[in-house]
Amino acid sequence: MQGVTVLGSTGSIGINTLDVLAGNADRYHVVALTANQQSERLFEQCRRFKPEFAVMMDDAAALSLRDRVRRAGLATEVLAGIEGLKAVTRLSQVETVVAAIVGAAGLPSTLEAVKAGKRVLIANKEPLVMVGDLIMDQARLSGAKLIPVDSEHNAIFQCMPAGFAIPGKLPTVADDVLQHLGVRRILLTGSGGPFRATPIEDLARVTPDQACAHPTWSMGRKISVDSATMMNKGLELIEACRLFSTTPDHIQIVVHPQSVIHSMVEYVDGSVLGQLGVPDMRTPITHALAWPERMQSGVESLDLLAIGRLDFEAPNPGHFPCLRLAEGAARRGGTAPALLNAANEVAVARFLAGGLSFTGIAEVIEQVLSDVAIEAAETLDVVLAADARARDLAVRHIDRRQAGKAPATVSVTGRPV
């Protein structure tokens, strides 16, 4: 039996992970589950999976969960806060940690799991965007294996040659790794989100519910908005550079509305390998859990005859300014990706709360990127300071816009990052 900790078990990825674990209960033992504030949902999961530990980030929610767990006569020990999250990632009985917290909030626990040398299944892309090189260095030191859960990166991972593992043995110069493997480039696919065909002039008025109604995937609200702005594809471009030791020059983003091909790898001999399947996160989660073996996921077969056709197009840069901003940050390196990510998290949260327009998201990110000097991301402290600065500035920009002191629209087409 393999011991598993699921960080962020009450979220979309967390729930899908528990579904897969329940379907393979003879192989996995749930050691710990964690959530932010949803004590009721975490309690239900404790009743079902009987973990040794449950962690609530929020202190009041932890008290409420502890009370319920005791009254139900469960043996689960309830911990609270960031130290609790870190503690359940390094337990000796835990072999696999599923990193499924949303945003930068997942960084400390993901890093702890990597430092503890665990098998870390990474759904939570934001820490990789912020400090990917540092995470890779720590994994090399500890012997941790990273297995991508994000569907595109999991697809790329599956299309790599047998024996490919993350991280590689050496902190190789970007491109050497792919060249060595005979890879010419990576084709990173994306659906284009719900507004691919929406006229640009209508985008300023779209609502949070419209932005979260993804045409092919069912996901948490933050990543759904990121998909609608295509910031998600931008973050994934940076994530791919980190995981596969490459640069944006060797990655082509391809819009593929059906979300059937989850990404592809092109080799120097002209072969293009892709991973296909119905858009259901249980496939990459199951692959990552069982790798290098295979097991049942509960996902239905892909019916290509019913789908009929697969379409491809280039992303429209005017439509998706976030993609341009993310590509700029990927090329700039240093603290730029962390600044981009932090400003995006603040702007998306405000959009979801009704305090910023959809098109305001890219505008705020661009303002923050132009306000802050980019530094070399040498230490975690430097990156965390950049993250804090970007959040502070993003809040101020949004507040000023709301107070009507800033122009309602600011050009998002001008300045490269």
Catalog residues that contact ligand NAD under the rule CB under 6 A: 8-14, 35-36, 38, 57, 100-102, 105, 123-126, 150, 217, 219-220, 222-223, 281
Output the smallest distance, CB 6 to ligand NAD, in A. 9
Closer to ligand NAD by CB, 344 or 367: give it. Answer: 344
Interaction mask 147-186, Mg ion, x per CB under 5 A: ---xxx----------------------------------
Output the smallest distance, CB 52 to ligand NAD, in A. 18
Output the smallest distance, CB 103 to ligand NAD, in A. 6
Output the smallest distance, CB 183 to ligand NAD, in A. 23
Closer to Mg ion by CB, 64 or 189: give it. Answer: 189
Residues 20 and 299 sit within 8 Å (Cβ to Cβ): no
- 124's contact among Mg ion, ligand NAD, none, with CB below 5 to 8 A by partner kind, is ligand NAD
Whose CB is nearest to Mg ion?
Answer: 150
Whose CA is closest to 244, among 293, 303, 184?
A: 184
- 189 to 238, 256, 264, 315: CA distances (angstroms): 14, 6, 8, 10
Whose CB is nearest to ligand NAD?
Answer: 11
Output the smallest distance, CB 326 to ligand NAD, in A. 13
Residue type, position 118, single letter: K
**Hey, how many other C-beta atoms are within 10 angstroms of the C-beta on 68?**
18
Does the footprint of Mg ion cover residue 226 (CB under 5 A)?
no
Residue type, position 148, single letter: P
Q: What is the dihedral of CA 152, 153, 154, 157, to 10 degrees?
A: 130
Tell me the helix, strand and coil percentages in the chain, rounded to 5: 50, 15, 35
Closer to Mg ion by CB, 223 or 325: give it. Answer: 223
Whose CA is closest to 52, among 16, 17, 78?
A: 78
- 366's contact among ligand NAD, Mg ion, none, with CB below 5 to 8 A by partner kind, is none
Closer to Mg ion by CB, 35 or 219: give it. Answer: 219
Q: Is 2 exposed, middle or buried (0-12, 13-18, 19+ CB in 10 A)?
A: middle
Closer to ligand NAD by CB, 84 or 177: give it. Answer: 84
Between CA 397 and CA 406 the distance in angstroms is 8
- 89's contact among ligand NAD, Mg ion, none, with CB below 5 to 8 A by partner kind, is none
Does the footprint of Mg ion cover residue 239 (CB under 5 A)?
no
Closer to ligand NAD by CB, 98 or 139: give it. Answer: 98
- Name, in order, each residue with C-beta under 8 angstroms of 270's C-beta and a sequence gap of 6 or more: none
Residues in the chain: 417
Binding residues with Mg ion: total (CB under 5 A): 3
Output the smallest distance, CB 126 to ligand NAD, in A. 5
Does the footprint of Mg ion cover residue 327 (CB under 5 A)?
no
Residues 373 and 328 sit within 8 Å (Cβ to Cβ): no
Closer to ligand NAD by CB, 101 or 338: give it. Answer: 101
Tokens 């674990």 identify what position? 21
Residue 268 DSSP label: T
Token pair recorded at residue 92: 């000796």
H, E, C per residue of 286-340: HHHHHCCCCCCCCCCCCCHHHHCCCCCECCCCCCCHHHHHHHHHHHHCCCHHHHH
Closer to Mg ion by CB, 84 or 279: give it. Answer: 279
- 231's contact among Mg ion, ligand NAD, none, with CB below 5 to 8 A by partner kind, is none
DSSP, collapsed to helix, strand or coil, labels residue 114 as helix
Q: Which residues bind Mg ion (CB under 5 A)?
A: 150-152
